[in-house]
Structure 1
C-alpha cells in the first residue's frame, strides 16, 4: 500500500475535515480514505453507465424506454398497494 500526502491544506479546511470525521466517529485518515474510495467508486459507476449508453453491454434501450418501464412499474406497484392514481 502507498502513502499519499496533500500539501498546502489550509488549517481551517483541515479543522473542518477533522470535525466531519469526528461526527462520523472516524479518524481524519479513515474519513479521507472513505472520501477517496467513494470518488473512485463513482468514477467506476460512471464508466459502467457510459458503457450501457454506448450499447457495449447489449443494452439498446433509450431514455423513453426506461421512463416507460419505470412508469409502468410504478403504476403496477401503486395498484397493488391501492394507491389512487394521479398525474405526477
Structure 2
C-alpha cells in the first residue's frame, strides 16, 4: 500500500469530512480511504460503458450480457460483488 498526503485543505472542509467520518463510526483516515477507493472504482464502470458503447449498432448483446459485464467490473473493486 502507498501513503497519500493532501496539503492545503481548508479547515472547514476538514471539519465537514471529520463530521461525516464520525457519523459513520470511522476515523477520518478510514473515511477518506473509502472515498478514494470509491472514486477509483468509477474507472471500472467507465470501462464497462465504453465497452458497451463500442459495440456496433444492432449487436447481439443482451441485458444479461450487460449485467455480466457489470458483475465482472464490480468484482475488482472494494465492496463489490463476491
TM-score (norm 2): 0.66
Q: Which residue number in structure 2 is paired with residue 37 of structure 1?
A: 37
Q: Which runs of 4+ in 1 moved over 6 A?
A: none
SS of the aligned residue for 1:42 comes to: helix
Indicate whether 1:24 and 2:40 are aligned.
no
Distance 1:33 1:18 in 2: 13
Q: Which runs of 5+ in 2 are unaligned?
A: 64-82
Query: Which structure has the higher relative contact order (CA within 8 Å, separation 6+)?
Result: 2
Q: Which residue number in structure 2 is paired with residue 54 of structure 1?
A: 54
User: How many pairs were matched up?
Assistant: 62
Distance 1:61 1:19 in 2: 48
RMSD (Å) for aligned C-alpha atoms: 2.5
Q: Which residue number in structure 2 is paired with residue 80 of structure 1?
A: none
TM-score (norm 1): 0.62
Distance 2:13 2:5 in 1: 15
Distance 1:54 1:20 in 2: 39
- Displacement of 1:61 in angstroms is 6.2
